[in-house]
Every structure is written in structure tokens, then in C-alpha cells.
Structure 1
Amino acid sequence: MSYDAPPPPPPSGQQNPYGQSNPYGQPGQQGYGQPGAAADYAHWGKRVGALLIDGLLMFLTYIPAVIGVVIIVAGSETTTVNGTTTIENDDIGAAPILLILLSGLVYLGFYIWNIFIKQGRTGYTIGKGILGIKLISEQTGQPIGAGKAFLRQLCHILDGFFYLGYLWPLWDAKKQTFADKIMTTIVINQPKARG
């Protein structure tokens, strides 16, 4: 017996002393990425919901930039000469500019962490974790890593043409976008473990 193999199932009528018969998936099922696996693909609505949650969090990173723009506009003077309107602000200071730059850095940092690092390492973005769906490799059943998560995001460019790729999961058997098909990834229903 190999140390990597899961324990054999108990004879009928006996309880398995090791817990579930297959540590890779649900009791009685093969693990994802294993021969005969039955994946529970995430519905399109859950995928859109997770995207909206992540988008809302990304939107919140714009708050410092909005504050910076409001400060600049509030300190500006508008003058009209011969039908030409000009906006002047000779003394805006560094604070609003720093707020705008800070906002851009926070946006970029949060995007890289949530979409590439967190999702690549765990299979979950914040939105996916809240809705209980997970991105995994179709072959291994494991999260795809930050590098492949980055490449998958680049492949989403193809999904954007007429939004056809984003709508494809509505009728696809594996509920995959074009990016998922290219990267051989799937999104499954798997609530995030608490703790």
C-alpha cells in the first residue's frame, strides 16, 4: 500500500475509522481531477455575483481619489473670457494629488492580491469565497497558482468580444468561459472552510 493512496473503503456495514472514504471530495464521490469525478459546476449567476462583490470592493479603493478630486474642484475658480471658460487652481497643494496616487496604488495592490495571489493560491477571491465557489484546474482539482491566474485574466480579453465568452457558461456543459477553456479551469460549488 502506498502512503499517498487514500484508505480503502470499509467492508459493507462497517464504519470507516478514518472518516470519509475519500479525502479529496465529498463522501461517496471521487475527488475533483480524479478519474470518474463528478464536478459540481458553479452556476453563472453565482459567478456574476462573485464578480459584482469583487467589483464593489475594487470600487471602494477609488474613495481617496474622489476626495482628492473634490478638494481640487472646491479650490478652483472658473472664469469666462470671450466665451471661453477656464478653470484655475494655483494653490491646490500636494494632498489631493497624493490621495489620487494613493488610490491608484491601493486599487492596483488590492487587484493583484485578490485576483492573482489569493485566487491563485486558494481558488477563492473574496467574492467567490462569500458565494462558495472556487476556481480550480480541471486536470488536478487544485488552485491554479498566481501565474496561471494572471494568464487567465489576460484570456478574459477574448470573453469581452460582444460579451459572448462571459455568457458562454449559460449553455456550456462545464459552465466555462473562453478563458476557462483556454486555461483548462473550472469553477465549482465548494463553500470556503471556516476557520
Structure 2
Amino acid sequence: MSQMPYGQQQFQQPAPRQFFPALNGAVPVTGGRQVLVWLLDGVIFGLPVAILSFLCFLPMLFTIFSNIDKHAGSANVRHENWSDAELSAFFTSLLVGLLLNGILMLAYYGVYWYLIAVKGRTPGMSIMGMRLVSVETGQPIGWGPAFLRGLVVVLGSGITSGLLGLLFWLSPLFDSSTGWAQSWHDKMVKAVFIDTKAGRDTFVQQ
């Protein structure tokens, strides 16, 4: 039987899984499942946060519609100026909305980063049977790496109107070098996702 050239054989074989002693017995999570859990957490976390964020600005919207309705009978409604009291009510409701929304965002990111740093899994990851752990210890990555991992994605997404953030989350699909389907931000903090249903869960409760 004729053999394929070495280069062609090498191209067709999957990348050998990089060995980490702390992850002995652990099974990697496919890139597809990592993308799916991102979408799942988006529904579990993102949807309620989006609804609450909208509710933060309801007083401002009520103020706007109330003032529009108040001036609706004026013949020169397009040139009508709001009174000082109406402007004050608008800016007060706007500031309250921004403050509440800021508190909401801090709570959201605080809870998310706590789960990643200390537990190594979000509700979506628990449902999917996966955990994010350090390749060096097999334990959750801790506060510093968790903050850096999230910050890179948030900043990249903000600077590029979401494009870079999307590429970060899709990057596990393109990892062909480690055998662990690592995303770019996980490589940065030396972390991988492990399948806690199919293999050993390396997490040790402190």
C-alpha cells in the first residue's frame, strides 16, 4: 500500500493535545460547545440585564413623553422650549438612570468575574458540564487573570463595535495548535475549558 507524503499525513492528522500535568485525566471541550455556552450565558445573564437596563431609564422616558404631551396642543410645538423645571426633571431622571445602570453593570460584571475567578463556571457552563481552569494548577484562574480575560474582550469589543469581541468568542473554533480548543483570551491567561462530565474535574473546593 502506498503511503502519503509525510507533509500531507501531518496536515491531515489532528493537532496532538498539549500535555499539562495538572490536567491529567481531564477532557477538553470542543470549540463548538464553547461558542454555544457563550450564547447560553448571553440568554441567562444578558437578557435580564438588558431588561433591567431599560427599566433604569423608564423615568427619563416618562419625563420626555409627558413634556411632549404637555406641549402637543401648542401651534408652535416644534419651536416650544421646555421650562427650567421640565429640563431639570429631564436631566435628573437621566442622571438617575445612568447611576442605576452603572450600578447594574458593576453588579453584572462583578458576579460574572467572581464565578469565573472562584468557581471556574457560570450557570451556562454548569448546564453544559464544563469548567474554565488554569493549565498550571487545574483550579479556577483567580481574580487577576479573570479580570484581564474579561477586560480584553470588553475593551476589544467596545473599540471595534463588537467585531473583535465576536472574534474572541469564536476563536476556539480556529485553535489548531494545542488540542484544547483554546480561545485567544484563554491563551493569554493560560486557561482551558475541561469537560467535567466526560473526564476528571480538576477543581478542588477550598
TM-score (norm 2): 0.61
Unpaired stretches in structure 2, ≥5 consecutive residues: 1-18, 72-76, 158-162, 202-206
Residues 78-130 of structure 1: per-residue CA shift (max 9 Å, x gap): 6313xxx877734637566434422320221121122x212100001233223
Between 1 and 2, higher relative CO (CA 8 Å, sep ≥ 6) is seen in 2
- Residue in structure 2 matched with residue 187 of structure 1 by the alignment: 193
Residues 147-180 of structure 1: per-residue CA shift (max 9 Å, x gap): 2100112333568548444322113231111111
**What is the root-mean-square deviation in Å for CA atoms of aligned residues?**
3.4
- Residue in structure 2 matched with residue 109 of structure 1 by the alignment: 107
- Residue in structure 1 matched with residue 147 of structure 2 by the alignment: 150
Decide which structure has greater helix share.
2
Decide which structure has greater strand share.
1
Give, in angstroms, the shift of residue 144 of structure 1.
0.8
- Residue in structure 2 matched with residue 61 of structure 1 by the alignment: 52
Q: Following superposition of structure 1 onto structure 2, how do residues 1-195 of structure 1 map, counting pairs within 5 Å?
A: 34=21, 37-51=24-38, 52-53=42-43, 54-77=45-68, 79-81=77-79, 89-90=86-87, 92=89, 94=92, 97-114=95-112, 116-156=113-153, 161=164, 163-172=166-175, 173-190=179-196
Q: Contact conserved, 1:49 with 1:127, CA < 8 A, in 2?
A: no
Q: Contact conserved, 2:172 with 2:183, CA < 8 A, in 1?
A: yes
In structure 2, C-alpha distance between the alignment counterparts of 1:161 and 1:117, rounded to whole Å = 24
Unpaired stretches in structure 1, ≥5 consecutive residues: 1-31
Q: 1:50 to 1:60 in 2, by over 3 A?
A: farther
Q: 1:80 to 1:177 in 2, by over 3 A?
A: same
In structure 1, C-alpha distance between the alignment counterparts of 2:104 and 2:56, rounded to whole Å = 10
Q: 1:162 to 1:122 in 2, by over 3 A?
A: closer
4+ runs deviating over 4 angstroms: 85-88, 93-97, 157-160
Q: Contact conserved, 1:50 with 1:127, CA < 8 A, in 2?
A: yes
Give, in angstroms, the shift of residue 141 of structure 1.
0.7
Secondary structure at 1:135 match in 2: strand
Q: 1:47 to 1:87 in 2, by over 3 A?
A: farther
In structure 2, C-alpha distance between the alignment counterparts of 1:100 and 1:162, rounded to whole Å = 24
Which residue identity does 2:169 align to in structure 1?
Y
TM-score (norm 1): 0.64
Identity %: 24
Give, in angstroms, the shift of residue 50 of structure 1.
3.0
- Residue in structure 2 matched with residue 12 of structure 1 by the alignment: none
Q: Contact conserved, 1:134 with 1:189, CA < 8 A, in 2?
A: yes
Secondary structure at 1:75 match in 2: helix
